[in-house]
């Protein structure tokens, strides 16, 4: 292993990265980053859903994920309304619990699950199985059987082995099932490599270019017990630029039309996947659902006209864009440490009582986040800060770059916005951390929807003693 002397070479200077903005008043919120009911009260404390986060932490401890129910419902509804003719599937992988599954149903959306665990939660919540779509690139025979027996509305197949398993399941159970074929459009989505899913060299879907996708369609179409609904394309996640969707739609619809001419089958449906980006910091400028609906519909209609095929029934699968901005995480500050950079500059390391176990996204995708002091007003000058966790590695960073109050001290609360998607759902027990609760807030009332883990939870699976 090569080692080099770490130090100034790692620093970006006192101003942080060039995109980082310093607010005129460090106590202010940047509304785009926060859920709709978030505000600072007269004492400078952060309130969400009418709940003062100081009270929430006093009652429920920290760290905690705070879920703004009104905001979640409004975003879900905005997608359902903007995409009126589409089926909107909320992607449960972003965050799912029984309460949220009920909200999703109440707001009229369908649900995308990608594992047996997510299916279990959905069914426990009483979610109508006919409105569930089941994803995954390696669904087992048992998973498929469970899904088919439960009456799941559509299964998105991802491999020939899976089609074979599905054939076995439908034969064994005597039940038929509705199927979509996940295809790879060969698009390089402009997002982090780990969350881009439509280029050729990755694990998902049947390649259009290689002919695998058409072969899969043919196989599903020829198999009794499998009802072919259409093609499914998901190009990646945290995408802002609709040009990726446009290229994907063009390629997927070309296949859709080819199926019509070569197999004589008009596929009734088409799913365009999810992936719509949200604002984590002031760098991000997301489109709203109405804009997305207009653009996607225009793209599909244009292609269908050019190919002379009827516009299929469309569906989308947003996860992040619904739940992401609806949640923030509140932490308590434990230590504050100033570390010298070059030319006399410094960075203030703020250690909080969580970290990469409750938000792995910074470490995994180099994601940027923001934060604000949540327990009081500060009149101190801002300093360049880095919010880090309490885990045993230097990469345990929550917020890489943000200006924080210069008088931040142990006991202060910090809140990080836009942590609703892929934070609790990817949380771990690293260092035997207890995963934080999810507390829904609405009209001044906090409601625990996922409780904090306890040491008994940790020890429950440890059968050695
Ligand atoms: N549909 C399919 C087939 C998907 O694979 C995904 C996400 C979605 C819909 C929802 O995508 P969204 O609208 O939430 O972007 N853990 C990563 C994201 C992984 C996304 C996986 N698939 C992250 O934290 O950024």
pLDDT tens-place string over residues 184-222: 988 866 666 666 666 778 899 999 999 999 999 999 999
CA 317 / ligand 1 centre spacing (Å): 9
Whole-number Cα distances in Å, 358 to 62, 132, 346, 420: 11, 27, 27, 11
Q: Determine the Cα–Cα distance for residues 213 and 424; give it in Å rounded to an integer.
A: 34
Residue whose Cα lies nearest atom 12 of ligand 1: it is 275
- Measure 18 CA to ligand 1 centroid, in angstroms: 28
* Alpha-carbon span 136 to 156, nearest angstrom: 8
Distance CA 82, CA 169 (A): 37
CA pseudo-torsion sign 67, 70, 73, 75: negative
pTM: 0.96
Phi-psi region of 117 (alpha: psi -120 to 50; beta: other; left: phi over 0): alpha
Ligand 1 atom nearest the C-alpha of 324 is 14
- Report which ligand 1 atom has the smallest distance to the Cα of 273: 1
CB atoms within 10 A of CB 168: 14
Query: Which of 86-95, 236-245, 398-407 shows the lowest mean pLDDT across its residues?
Result: 236-245
Q: Is 114 designated active site?
A: no
Give the chain's count of helices (H) and strands (E): 12, 21
pLDDT digits (tens, 9 = 90+) for 297-323: 999 999 999 999 999 999 999 999 999
- The DSSP-derived string for 74-108 is HHHHHHHHHTTTSEEEEETTT---HHHHHHHHHTT
3-state SS, residue 340: strand
**pLDDT at position 345 over 90:** no
Residues lining ligand 1, judged by CB closer than 6 Å? Answer: 91, 93-94, 112, 135, 195, 234, 237-238, 273-276, 317-321, 361, 365, 421-422, 426
pLDDT at 198 (0 to 100)? 64
Closest by CA to 282, choosing from 39, 40, 30, is: 30
Ligand 1 nearest atom to the CA of residue 320, by list position: 14
pLDDT digits (tens, 9 = 90+) for 118-171: 999 999 999 999 999 999 999 999 999 999 999 999 999 999 999 999 999 999
Query: Is 258 in contact with 305 (CB distance < 8 Å)?
Result: no
The residue whose CB lies within 8 Å of the most ligand 1 atoms, and thus the one to mutate among 72, 90, 132, 274, is 274
Give the pLDDT of residue 201: 82
Q: Beta strands 206-207 and 346-352: pairing type? A: unpaired
Say if CB 65 and CB 83 are below 8 A apart.
no
Tens digits of per-residue pLDDT, 231-249?
Answer: 999 999 999 988 888 999 9
Alpha-carbon distance 64 to 439, whole Å? 7
Ligand 1 pocket mutation, candidates 114, 319, 358, criterion most atoms within 8 A of CB: 319
| Average confidence (pLDDT) over 64-91 | 98
- Cα 94 to ligand 1 centre (Å): 7
- Cβ–Cβ under 8 Å, residues 280 and 368: yes
Kindly indicate the confidence band of residue 13, based on its pLDDT and cuts at 50, 70 and 90.
low
Give bridge partners of residue 181 from the DSSP assignment. Answer: 157, 231
- Note the residue count of the chain: 465
* 275 C-alpha to ligand 1 centroid (Å): 6
CA of 418 to the centre of ligand 1 (A): 15
The minimum-distance atom of ligand 1 relative to the CA of 426 is 16
2 — pLDDT class (breaks 50, 70, 90) = very low
Test site for ligand 1: of 272, 317, 322, most ligand atoms within 8 A of the Cβ: 317
User: Residue of the nearest CA to atom 8 in ligand 1?
Assistant: 274
Sign of CA dihedral 99, 103, 104, 105: positive
Catalytic annotation, pick one of 110, 304, 392, 423: 392
d(CA 251, CA 253): 5
- Determine contact, residues 275/237, Cβ cutoff 8 Å: yes
CA of 236 to the centre of ligand 1 (A): 7
Q: Which domains are delineated in the chain? A: 8-63+327-419+436-453 (2.40.37.10), 70-323 (3.20.20.10)
């Amino acid at each position: 292993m090569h080692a080099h002397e770490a130090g100034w070479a790692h620093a970006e200077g006192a101003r942080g990265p060039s995109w980082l903005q310093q607010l005129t008043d460090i106590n202010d919120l940047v509304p785009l980053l926060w859920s709709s009911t978030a505000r600072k009260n007269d004492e400078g404390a952060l309130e969400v859903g009418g709940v003062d986060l100081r009270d929430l932490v006093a009652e429920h401890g920290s760290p905690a994920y705070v879920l703004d129910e009104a905001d979640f419902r409004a975003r879900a509804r905005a997608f359902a309304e903007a995409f009126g003719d589409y089926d909107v599937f909320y992607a449960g992988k972003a965050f799912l619990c029984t309460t949220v599954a009920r909200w999703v149903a109440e707001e009229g959306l369908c649900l995308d699950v990608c594992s047996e665990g997510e299916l279990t939660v959905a069914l426990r919540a009483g979610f109508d199985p006919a409105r569930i779509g089941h994803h995954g690139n390696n669904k087992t025979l048992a998973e498929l059987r469970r899904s088919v027996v439960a009456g799941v509305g559509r299964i998105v197949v991802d491999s020939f082995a899976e089609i074979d398993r599905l054939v076995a399941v439908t034969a064994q159970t005597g039940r038929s099932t509705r199927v979509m074929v996940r295809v790879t459009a060969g698009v390089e989505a402009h997002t982090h490599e780990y969350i881009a899913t439509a280029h050729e060299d990755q694990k998902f879907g049947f390649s259009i270019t290689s002919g695998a996708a058409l072969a899969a369609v043919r196989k599903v179409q020829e198999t009794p017990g499998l009802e072919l609904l259409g093609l499914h394309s998901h190009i990646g996640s945290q995408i802002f630029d609709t040009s990726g969707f446009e290229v994907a739609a063009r390629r997927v619809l070309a296949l859709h039309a080819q199926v019509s001419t070569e197999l004589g089958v008009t596929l009734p449906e088409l799913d365009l996947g999810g992936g719509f980006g949200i604002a984590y910091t002031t760098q991000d400028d997301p489109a709203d659902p109405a804009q997305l609906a207009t653009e996607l519909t225009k793209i599909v209609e244009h292609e269908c006209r050019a190919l002379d095929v009827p516009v299929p029934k469309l569906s989308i699968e947003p996860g992040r864009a619904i739940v992401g901005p609806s949640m923030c995480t509140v932490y308590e500050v434990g230590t504050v440490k100033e570390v010298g950079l070059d030319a006399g500059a410094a960075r203030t390391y703020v250690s909080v009582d969580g970290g990469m176990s409750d938000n792995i996204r910074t470490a995994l995708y180099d994601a940027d986040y923001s934060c604000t002091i949540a327990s009081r007003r500060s009149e101190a000058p801002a300093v360049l800060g880095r919010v880090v966790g309490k885990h045993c590695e230097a990469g345990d960073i929550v917020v890489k770059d943000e200006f924080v109050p210069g008088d931040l001290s142990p006991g202060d609360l910090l809140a990080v916005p836009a942590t609703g998607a892929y934070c609790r759902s990817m949380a771990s027990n690293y260092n035997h951390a207890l995963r934080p609760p999810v507390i829904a807030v609405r009209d001044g009332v906090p409601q625990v929807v996922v409780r904090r883990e306890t040491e008994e939870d940790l020890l429950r699976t440890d059968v050695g003693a």
